[in-house]
Amino acid sequence: MKNKTIFVACDTSNISQINKILKNINTKKLKIIPKFGLQFFYSKNGRKFLEKYKSDYWLDLKINDIPQTALSAIDSLKDLKNCKYITVHVNGGLEMLSAVKKKAKLINKDLKVLGVTILTSLNNKSLKEIGYTNSIKKLVLKQASLIKKSGCDGIICSAQEAVLVRKKFRKLFIVTPGIRLPGESINDQSRVMTPNSAFQNKVSGIVMGRSLIKGNIKNNTQRLIDHLSK
């Protein structure tokens, strides 16, 4: 199971809770990497914590702006030496994606840029309300093409689209959010899947939040290990 990467969404601004999560998800049986999002990074002590954090992590900022502003945002993160993954919205366009990738490589050769496609909280009805005319599957495949062309390292998409992306882009690093253990509520997600099903779709990594950090974290982690062992 070490070849299966699990990103744990540390969705809290409470440092004590963060330390609890990091301590209790620690296991030699899985490759687990913490993911810190906007809530933590924007909090008073969040950035200070990451400056001192000694292990690899994913900074999920979903940058989406004009190229120069996106470049400045990436440049401002150059002191975060252990940040190994950063996210940008594909909606920012090819020029922004390419520029961010080039800047990331300059400030940290190990920093991987992942393009965020259609959020897993959205469905085809949601897209029509926004003004899109294509289906989610068509949009994600188009966005995957932009990610590949830009030189970015990977894509964030639901496991339902991952199988299509993998067929067309065999070497692309694919990460899927919207993952739930069997029997759990989908909450605010629309396109969900179990960990085993996602990995069967040949994803590179999965993102798990509430399934692991809500309740007894050690027990939840063991449930995940048992599930992936089946």
pLDDT at 185: 67
Q: Which domains can be identified in the chain, with CATH numbers?
A: 5-229 (3.20.20.70)
Answer yes or no: is pLDDT of 189 > 60. Answer: no
Residue whose structure tokens are 């449930």: 223
Of 62, 81, 105, 148, the catalytic one is: 62
Do residues 211 and 7 make contact, with C-beta atoms less than 8 angstroms apart?
no
Distance CA 3, CA 22 (A): 20
Strands 205-208 and 173-176: parallel
SS3 144: helix
For residues 181-198, give the mean pLDDT.
76
Give me the phi and psi of 29, to 5 degrees please.
Answer: -85, -15
| Residue 87 reports pLDDT greater than 60 | yes
Handedness of CA 116, 145, 103, 113 (dihedral sign): positive
Dihedral of CA atoms 41, 44, 48, 53 in degrees, nearest 10, equals -50
What is the per-residue pLDDT across 173-182, written as a single tens digit (0 to 9) for each? 999 998 988 8
**Mean pLDDT of the 195-199 span:** 92
CA 205 to chain centre: 8
pLDDT digits (tens, 9 = 90+) for 204-213: 999 999 889 9
pLDDT in tens, 100-139: 999 999 999 999 999 999 988 888 899 899 998 889 999 9
pLDDT at residue 2 greater than cutoff 80? no
- Amino acid letter, residue 84: K
DSSP letter (8 states) at residue 54: -
Q: What is the pLDDT of residue 190?
A: 58
Active site residue 52: no
